[in-house]
Chains A and B, each alone.
Chain A
Amino acid sequence: MSRLELRHVRKAFGGLDVLADISLSVGAGEFVSILGPSGAGKSTLFQLLTGAEHGEGEMLFDDTPLDDHGRHFAFMPQRDALMPWRRILDNTTLGLEVQGVGRQAARARVAPLLAEFGLAGFERHFPAQLSGGMRQRAALLRTVVQERDMLLLDEPFGALDALTRAAMQRWLEQMWRHHRWTALLITHDVREAVFLSDRIYVLSARPARVLREITVPLPRPRDPTGATAQQAGALEAEILDILLNPQPSKGHDHD
């Protein structure tokens, strides 16, 4: 059964069409990616979901229209958005604090997860003292402890170097298998989308519409080296082809 469902969502800023026609759904415990070229309006979609912007079309959550926005989603923005003045522990409890959870209770909820997120021993550090990968894990921890119905991840690894990004993707896949979050990931990294997702919506360049919906048939745990790697490679090539040669529109130069 689908938890989030978008039907013919459109959004224009002034005269500029950003989202032309987006229909998609995300089921319970499903990891879905939105893959599209940079500047395609992917982040705008998240702004609609979190209520920062308003568009046309239907947005349903558990079959009821989305109105009380903040309640369903835990949002992880591009880059980590960690507050430099808060120690890691206080950064990770931020969402709970905003929800009105007391400081002690919030810390108690974060504490058992610190080790799993590779942050044990770094609670008292400031973000600037941590590596990019650790900062990103702290940001994800801050997102998941909010215990919302669904995670919205906006290019969470976009600012990392290639090696750290690959390590973080493997780590996230493993974490997801344990927790089975319902998640919607925005990315322009084809490999990342294939590696992490159950399904992928491939978007066109702006104004964005869904070019293709792809179910990723690869078994979990996802193995980046074994026999399925070839299958993944073929899928990546196919998606790349869709992105680089969309039938009617003009070309663009993204990976």
Chain B
Amino acid sequence: MVSSSSSRPLQLAGLFAKAAPAVMSVGLLLVAWELYANYSGIKPTILPAPSRVFEQAMLNREALIDNAIPTIRATLMGFACSLGAAFALSMLVDFFQPLRRALFPVFIVSQTLPLVAIAPLVVLWFGFGLTPKIMLVALVTFFPMLVALVQGYEATEVEIGQMLRAMGAGCWRVFVLARLPSALPYFFAGLRISITYAVVGAIFAEYAGAAKGLGIYMLNAKNNFRPDLVLAAVGVSAALTLILFGLTVLLQRLAMPWERIGRQPAGKGPGR
């Protein structure tokens, strides 16, 4: 039914061509799922059809939105904390190299902790409020950003550093003028990885205990034998993640205009 795009302006056609494979693969998957759920005789309490999931999502949209808000709050606050901590620590590590050797093993160990074990403990220690959610989101998103930042500082062109020092710049000036902007592409790569963990981290924390939130909503729906509502909540969390991901891409475009503009005329490469 959508095959009349050949007369569209070139840009739109290009966008469509780019999105088409993704749309088609997701569409095919949904169609197959729908057919299987309808014709295999499987019970909707085991595997509901996507049409039913959508229908139920619309019927329960108020409850879904109501439960999505605490999840969004926990995600954003946890992410903000982790961003702040990663930035502060990355600077500390950049200025005092020995700290790197002292701290990195600790961070790496923090990444090996299974969330299944940690989440209930954190809830046990800090209660059912916002604090444990923020902590868990921060725990899962902190490390990729820290590594990205530290690596980004290291990627500063040696000659730019030499030149700045010859100009009379101290460590701090070199950091602000050269190391920080050099780290931006790395930072955004880390941010994109982190943001995809963030929502999942918040949901996990809620799963372990919360008054409200997508995680506890999923748990309750499961216990009530409503897989359709579990999947509806999954759809909401997926949409949240995609939106956050899109925001980071947008932010990168705004923060790094030279990446886009600089590539326009056929010049030489980035010159590393």
Of the candidates B165, B257, B265, the one whose C-beta lies within 8 Å of that of A50 is B165
Is A57 an interface position by the 8 A CB rule? no
Produce 1/0 per residue, A69-89, CB < 8 A to B: 111011111111111110000
Q: Is the CB of B261 within 8 A of A81?
A: no
Is the C-beta of B51 less than 8 angstroms from some C-beta in chain A?
A: no
A104 at the interface (CB under 8 A from B): no
B271/A75 in contact, CB under 8 A? no
CB neighbors of A among B156-208 (8 A): 157, 159-160, 162-169, 173, 177-178, 181, 184
Residue contact B157 to A50, C-beta cutoff 8 Å: no
- Shortest distance from the beta carbon of A50 to any chain B beta carbon, whole Å: 4
Q: Is the CB of A83 within 8 A of B168?
A: no
What distance in Å separates the Cβ of B131 from its nearest Cβ neighbour in chain A? 38
Query: At the interface, yes or no: B246 with Cβ under 8 Å from chain A?
Result: no
The answer to whether B178 and A83 touch across the interface, beta carbons within 8 angstroms, is yes
Using A81-B157, A81-B159 as known contacts, say yes or no to A127 and B271 having CB atoms under 8 A apart.
Answer: yes
10 interchain pairs, CB-CB under 8 A: A50-B166, A75-B166, A84-B262, A98-B164, A99-B167, A99-B168, A127-B271, A128-B269, A129-B261, A129-B265
The verdict on A131 contacting chain B, using a C-beta distance below 8 Å, is: yes
Q: Assess the A128–B165 pair: CB atoms within 8 A.
A: no
Size bracket of the B interface: 20 to 34
CB-CB nearest 10 A-B residue pairs: A128-B262, A70-B168, A75-B166, A50-B166, A77-B159, A126-B262, A98-B167, A126-B258, A81-B159, A85-B181
Measured CB to CB, the residues of A under 8 A from B are 47, 50-52, 69-71, 73-85, 94-95, 97-99, 126-132, 135, 146, 152
Q: Chain B residues near A85: list those with CB within 8 A.
A: 181, 184, 256, 258
Q: Does B61 contact A (CB under 8 A)?
A: no
Contact of B181 (CB < 8 Å), options: A69, A78, A79, A83: A83
| Contacting residues, chain B, for A81 (C-beta < 8 A) | 157, 159-160, 162-163
Asked if B41 is at the interface of the complex by the 8 Å CB criterion, the answer is no
Give residues in B with beta carbon < 8 Å to A: 157, 159-160, 162-169, 173, 177-178, 181, 184, 256-258, 261-265, 267-271
Instruction: Say whether B167 contacts A80, CB under 8 Å.
Output: no
Task: Report how far A217 CA is from B262 CA in the complex, Å.
Answer: 44
Cβ-defined contact, B256 with A75, below 8 A: no
CB distance from A247 to the nearest CB of B (A): 34
Interface pair A52/B162, CB less than 8 Å apart: yes
CA distance A75 to B178 in the complex (A): 17
Nearest B residue to A139, CB-CB: B163
On chain B, the residues within 8 Å of A73 by CB distance are: 166
User: Which listed residue (B178, B181, B184, B267) contacts A128, Cβ 8 A?
Assistant: B267
List the A side residues contacting B263 at CB < 8 Å. 128
Pairwise interchain contact B271-A79, C-beta atoms closer than 8 A: yes
Residue of A nearest to B262 (CB): A128
Q: Are the CB atoms of A52 and B165 closer together than 8 Å?
A: yes
The smallest C-beta distance from B50 to any residue of chain A, in angstroms, reads 45
A127 to B271, CA, bound (A): 10
User: Which chain A residues border B268 with CB–CB below 8 Å?
Assistant: 128, 131-132, 135
Chain A residues with CB under 8 Å of B157's CB are 81
Q: Which residue of A lies closest to B169 (CB)?
A: A98
CA distance A76 to B261 in the complex (A): 26
Q: Are B262 and A78 in contact (CB under 8 A)?
A: no
Residues from chain B with a CB closer than 8 A to the CB of A97 are 177
B262 touches A127 (CB 8 A): yes
The interface residues of chain A lying within 8 Å CB-to-CB of B257 are 126
Residues of B within 8 A of A79 (CB): 159, 271
* A83–B181 alpha-carbon span in the complex (Å): 9
Residues of chain A with a CB closer than 8 A to B173's CB: 98
Most chain B C-beta atoms within 10 Å of own C-beta, residue among A47, A52, A84, A130: A84
B168's closest neighbor in chain A, by CB?
A70
**Measured CA separation A79–B269 after assembly (Å):** 13
